Every structure is written in structure tokens, then in C-alpha cells.
Amino acid sequence: MGKPTGFMEYDRQENKAEEPLKRIKDFKEFHYSLDEGERRKQAARCMNCGVPFCQNGQLIGGMMSGCPLNNLIPEWGELLYRGGTELALERLLMTNPFPEFTSRVCPALCEKACICGVNDSPVTVRDNERMIIEYGFEKGLMQPTVQQHRTGKRIAVIGSGPAGLSAAEMLSKRGHDVTVFEREDAPGGLLMYGIPNMKLEKEVIKRRIALMEAQGVEFCTNSNVGGNVKASDIDKEFDAVILACGAGKARDIKADGRDALGIRFAVDYLKDCTKALMSGNKPLEAKDRNVVVIGGGDTGNDCVGTAIRQGCKSVTQLEMMPKLPDERAADNPYPEWPKVCKTDYGQEEAAALFGHDPRVYQTTVKEFIKNEKGELTAIKTVALDFSKGKMTQVEGSEKTIPCELALIAAGFLGCEEYIAEAFGVKLTERNRLDTKSHHLGGKLFCAGDAHIGQSLVVRAIREGIDCARETDEYLLGYTPL
Ligand SMILES: Cc1cc2nc3c(=O)[nH]c(=O)nc-3n(C[C@H](O)[C@H](O)[C@H](O)COP(=O)(O)OP(=O)(O)OC[C@H]3O[C@@H](n4cnc5c(N)ncnc54)[C@H](O)[C@@H]3O)c2cc1C
């Protein structure tokens, strides 16, 4: 334990966020780091409780609690407090290949499982992690690990999201020759073309890709395996193939008028925005338009924050489910993931700009209304009732709201079929690659959302690590990974 009285002396202090009305003026990240002294005090708040659920990622009640990477949080917290940031970095990198991603976008499962949070506020684990990894980059400590002893084995990774990247990172460090195929024009998966810049600036991804390239990983972009790149060629050329192609099949909304112009899937909309920013253009798709986001989750929140930055006239977010309670319910005790109402950055910004929370609960789309040119002009909504043990529409509750841009953020239906077909592997009923381990048979392996369904960056990284171990063992008969 760094400082026995730490959590009693110091209150939790998160990295400060820029005011909502200021930060919506651009698409930059908007959290400021504490200075080193203040950050060390925050690290001192870890009481080294002896039952560190924070580092013990496990599924409780079907939801993840604690860090899936088993980050050694109390250990690097103590090192950070004592001023041993370099040692803290070493300890952090033992379990997490990409702390610069998780410390920006992870919902901090560790903090929800922190004992300090039972009666007080939890340790700022995520912000501490960010300080440690950014210290590593600033001080030039993040260098490629070029393995001199080469195994001579060639591995293809299909998909460059966090799962594919972590598998590639582990296997290249082991001395295998790794090639990553990505159908988009840049690597990163949803880190690059899903999660908006405000949460993860794209330079952070490019910085990591450059390190991996220097380590010997080859990236082939614009390479759609099963499309312009033949699966049979990959199969011939490589000793092992890892499918880490995500769960990109978006759930659609079935309602009259669905063919109206102005209805888009959330990820396509977010991707176009990032692409415009990367090419130096101002993304204006939502400008002066009434936007309705269909889906109350995190992707929907990213659409709210993006539409606001693009200058939308109004934004409404429809959520089918009832509002969650503000505090944990009795049947949702610590250390379970807290099922409580969270107000995320986009919703905070909408409230600051338009004077109210954009979310409308227990409501869905009944009809998309279009004009004679086929353009979307409004959405007819209907309220939902769950009191009879099933979801029913409330008669007479229909409302019409003006809308020229509707963004569907209603979740994902798993892996796209063509990739499974290209390699002749089976999908489960829920469109996931069908294996309990990561081995699909023969030289084929899988990792990430394609395997476990749409999840989190931290879980995708874990998947990549576990898959790398199995692949290494298959290739060499044992693994030290
Ligand atoms: C909008 C949005 C915001 C999110 N925000 C967060 C967040 O803040 N925090 C968090 O923890 N999680 C977040 N998530 C979830 C998280 O991004 C995913 O769980 C994670 O990226 C999954 O990683 P993956 O590597 O399995 O797949 P992906 O990141 O989806 O990457 C798969 C890659 O494979 C490529 N690919 C697919 N098929 C082929 C093919 N045939 N050939 C070549 N390439 C192919 C795709 O183009 C893609 O780049 C978010 C998701 C979305 C949609």
C-alpha cells in the first residue's frame, strides 16, 4: 500500500473536462490531465484492499466486472504514487499492450469493482493509466520490440481492430511474421472508424501502428478478404490465419418509410465524419438538420455528440427501454456492473445546448415520413409498455417529430456472413464464429467481437491476447506468451 491514509485524505479527482459549450466547437479530445503531483495523490487513494476485484475481470450476472486484462492495478498505483512511473509503465505493459486506447475509451470496469467505491468514490484507475502510458510515449520509452530470433512462421490477421492488433502485437513480439489485412483505408477497426475523435484522436492510433510497423508487422489496407483478396490465397500463403473481423452487421429498424433518403446506420455516419476530419474537411452532414438517433446506448451517444459538433438544429435520442435508476438497485450489488442511468458526454452537451436531455425513453419509431422526393421529413414515434411482461405499443401515444437525418444505433447482429463463408467456417445462431476456444479448426483462429459479439475494446484486446497464445501453441507446440 502506497499511503495507508491515502483514500481518507484525498478525494477522488478525475481529469477535468472542458465545458460542454466550449468543447462542441471542435472534434478534439477534451479532458485535461492533472499535474504529476495531483495524479500521484490519486494513485495514493488505492487502499490495496487485499481483494482486488478491480484486476479480476469476471462475468457476474452476465456482465463483466473488473479488468478483463487483469491489469495489476494496485501494483502500478503504488509505483505511481511513489514516483516510479517508469516501473509503473513496465508493470502496466505486462498485461495491457495498448493502455493508450483503454485509458481513453474503456468504461473502466475496474473502477466499478473498486472496493474504495463501496462507501466512497473509487480510485481514478483509468486516468492514472493514461498518465502512465502518456509518460511512456513522452519520454521515448515506447520502443518497438524487434525479436531477433525469427520462427519462420507466417500469420495472417484479418481485421485490424483492437482484437486483431493485440493478436498481431503478441505474435510479432514472439518472432512470427505477421501481416494484417484490413478492408478500410486505415488500420484500427472501430477505434479508427467508429469511436469519434472526441474520445480517441486518430493520431493516437497512428502512433501505435507506426510502432507495430517498426516491430515488423505488415499492414495491408484496402484489402477485403473474401472480396478483392481471395481467402484461398491467404490460406495457401500463411501458416495460421486469425479472423478478427468484428461484429459489424448492424441491426436495422423495420418501419414504414424505411427507404426514405436521410436514414443512415450510425457507424457509416461516424466513419464519414472521421474521414472528413482526416482529409481536412469540415463534416457538415447534420448541419441545420433535425436529427433523431434511434438507440440510447453508447453508439447513440457518440452520434449525439457528433451531430452537435456538426451544427444540428435539434437532436433527439430514442431509447426503447425504461430509464435505469440513478443508484444501484438492491438486486444489483457491488461488485456487479452498476445498472444505473449514465449521462455521457453527448447527452451532457445536448442538455447544455438545447436545455434538456435528448433521451426519450420507452419509445420507438412507428413510421419514417417522407416528402414527394422521397426525403425524410419527420418520424412518427410510439411509446412502449413493458408492464404485461412483454413489449407492447401504447395505443394513441404516437407523436410526430421533425427529422431530416435519422441515425440507426440499434446494436449489432454479429459477424458478416461472407467472411465465414469465404473460409468455410460455421457461425452460431447469433452470428458469432463458432468455437468455445479461439481455434476454429485447421490453421484457422478467431478473436474479438466476431467471436464474442459486440463488446468493448478491453475485451477485444483480451481476446486477441488469448487467441495469440493458442495460435502460438498450435504453430510451435508450446507458448511462453
Ligand atoms: C460507435 C462505436 C463506439 C464505441 N465506443 C466504445 C468505447 O467507447 N469503449 C469501448 O470499450 N468500446 C466501444 N465500442 C465497441 C468496440 O469498439 C468494439 O467492441 C471493438 O472495436 C471490437 O474490436 P474487434 O477488433 O473485435 O473488431 P472491430 O474493431 O470491429 O474491427 C474489425 C475490423 O475488421 C475489418 N474487417 C472485417 N471484415 C474484413 C474482411 N473481410 N477483410 C478485411 N478486413 C475486414 C473491419 O473493417 C474492421 O476494421 C464502440 C463501438 C461502436 C460501434
Phi and psi, residue 440, nearest 5°: -95, 0
Distance in angstroms (rounded) separating the CA atoms of residues 144 and 153: 20
In this prediction, residue 124 carries a pLDDT of 97
In-domain check, residue 429: yes
Residue 226 lies in a domain: yes
Determine the average pLDDT of the residues in 201-227. 98
Q: By the 8 A CB rule, do 212 and 165 touch?
A: yes
Q: How many Å lie between the centroid of ligand 1 and the Cα of residue 229?
A: 20
| Pair 293, 317: CB distance under 8 Å | yes
258 falls within a domain: no
Pocket test for ligand 1, best of 100, 103, 126, 195 (most atoms within 8 A of CB): 195
Ligand 1: distance of its center to the CA of 191 in Å? 7
**How far is ligand 1, taken at its centre, from the CA of residue 341, in Å?**
25
Tell me the pLDDT tens digit for each residue of 242-280.
Answer: 999 999 999 999 999 999 999 999 999 999 999 999 999
- Is 351 found in the same domain as 288? yes
Does residue 389 or residue 251 have the better pLDDT? 251
The mean pLDDT of 14-40, rounded to a whole number, is 96
Based on the domain organization, do 98 and 119 belong to the same domain?
yes
In whole angstroms, what is the distance from residue 347 CA to residue 304 CA? 7
Residue type, 310: Q
Nearest-CA residue for atom 25 of ligand 1: 161
DSSP string of 397-426? --EEEE-SEEEE---B-BS-HHHHHHHT--
Residue 353 lies in a domain: yes
**Are 269 and 180 found together in one domain?**
no
DSSP state of 346: H
Q: Say what the pLDDT of residue 290 is.
A: 98
Pocket test for ligand 1, best of 69, 96, 157, 190 (most atoms within 8 A of CB): 190
CATH code assigned at 363: 3.50.50.60
309, pLDDT greater than 80: yes
Same domain, 273 and 392: yes
Question: pLDDT tens, 127-180?
Answer: 999 999 999 999 999 999 988 999 999 999 999 999 999 999 999 999 999 999
Residue pair 466/457 in contact (Cβ under 8 Å)? The answer is no
Closest-lying ligand 1 atom to the alpha carbon of residue 422 = 41
Q: How far is CA 307 from CA 162, 268, 317, 320, in A?
A: 26, 13, 11, 21
Per residue in 311-370, pLDDT tens? Answer: 999 999 999 999 999 999 999 999 899 999 999 999 999 999 999 999 999 999 999 999
> What is the model's pTM?
0.97
| Residue 157 near residue 164 (C-beta atoms within 8 A) | yes
Residue that finishes a domain, picked among 104, 138, 172? 138
pLDDT at 51: 82
Residue whose cell numbers read 433527439: 316
Based on the fold, state whether residues 29 and 120 are members of the same structural domain.
yes
Question: Per the structure, how many domains does the chain have?
Answer: 3
Instruction: Identify which of 293, 341, 298, 297 has the alpha carbon closest to the alpha carbon of residue 317.
Output: 293
pLDDT number for residue 52: 85
What percent of the chain lies above the pLDDT cut of 70? 100
| Cα distance between residue 120 and residue 122, in whole Å | 7
Region label for 311, one of left (φ > 0), alpha (ψ between -120 and 50) or beta (otherwise): left
Average pLDDT over residues 377-392: 94
Pick from 230, 438, 457, 461 the residue to mutate for probing ligand 1's pocket: most ligand atoms within 8 Å of its CB: 457
**Could you tell me if 362 and 428 lie in one domain?**
no
pLDDT at residue 338 in the model:
92
Integer Cα distance of 128 and 71 in angstroms: 12
Q: Cell for 382?
A: 410510439
- Evaluate whether residue 400 is within a structural domain: yes
Domain boundary among 408, 428, 456: 408
Which structural domain, as residue segments, surrounds residue 297?
A: 263-408
The torsion of the CA quartet 355, 358, 360, 366, rounded to 10 degrees, works out to 120
Going by C-alpha positions, the residue among 450, 406, 453, 188 that lies closest to residue 300 is 406
Domain boundary among 367, 388, 408: 408
Q: What CATH number does residue 48 fall under?
A: 1.10.1060.10
- Ligand 1 atom closest to the Cα of residue 159 is 34
148 within domain boundaries: no
In the reported structure, the alpha carbon of residue 239 is separated from the centroid of ligand 1 by a whole-number distance in angstroms of: 25
For 426-473, the pLDDT digits (tens) are: 999 999 999 999 999 999 999 999 999 999 999 999 999 999 999 999
402: number of Cβ within 10 Å: 15
Residues 391 and 422 in one domain: no
Report the nearest atom of ligand 1 relative to the CA of 463.
26
Q: Determine contact, residues 361/322, Cβ cutoff 8 Å.
A: yes
Q: How confident is the model at residue 50 (pLDDT cuts 50, 70, 90)?
A: confident
Q: Given pLDDT bands bounded at 50, 70 and 90, which one contains residue 185?
A: very high
More confident residue, 375 or 5: 375
Distance 397 CA to ligand 1 centre (A): 37
DSSP string for residues in 63-126: EEES-TT---HHHHHHHHHTT-HHHHHHHHHHH-S-HHHHHHH---HHHHT-THHHHSPPP-HH
* % of the chain residues with pLDDT over 90: 93
Residue 380's SS3 state is: strand
Same domain, yes or no: 374 and 434: no
Task: Please determine, for residue 4, whether its predicted confidence score (pLDDT) is greater than 90.
Answer: no
Say whether both 271 and 390 belong to one domain. Answer: yes
Mean pLDDT, rounded, of the chain: 96
- Within-domain flag for 36: yes
Report long-range pairs for 81-90 (Cβ below 8 Å, ≥24 apart): 81/2, 81/3, 81/6, 81/40, 81/41, 81/43, 81/44, 81/46, 82/2, 83/40, 85/131, 85/132, 85/135, 86/135, 86/136, 86/139, 86/141, 88/132, 89/132, 89/133, 89/135, 89/136, 89/141
Residue 47 has pLDDT above 90, yes or no: no
Residue to substitute in 98, 103, 230, 245 for testing ligand 1 pocket (most ligand atoms within 8 angstroms of CB): 245
Reported as a single tens digit per residue, the pLDDT across 280-302 is 999 999 999 999 999 999 999 99
Residue 322: is the preceding peptide bond cis (ω within 30°)? no
Q: Please tell me whether residues 26 and 124 are part of one structural domain.
A: yes
Per-residue confidence (pLDDT) for residue 400, from 0 to 100 = 98
127 shares its domain with 81: yes
Residue 149 lies in a domain: no
Residues with CB under 6 A from ligand 1: 105-106, 158-164, 181-184, 189-190, 194-195, 199, 223-226, 244-246, 248, 267, 270, 298-299, 302, 419, 448-450, 454-458, 460
Per-residue pLDDT at 104 exceeds 80:
yes
> Could you tell me if 322 and 376 lie in one domain?
yes
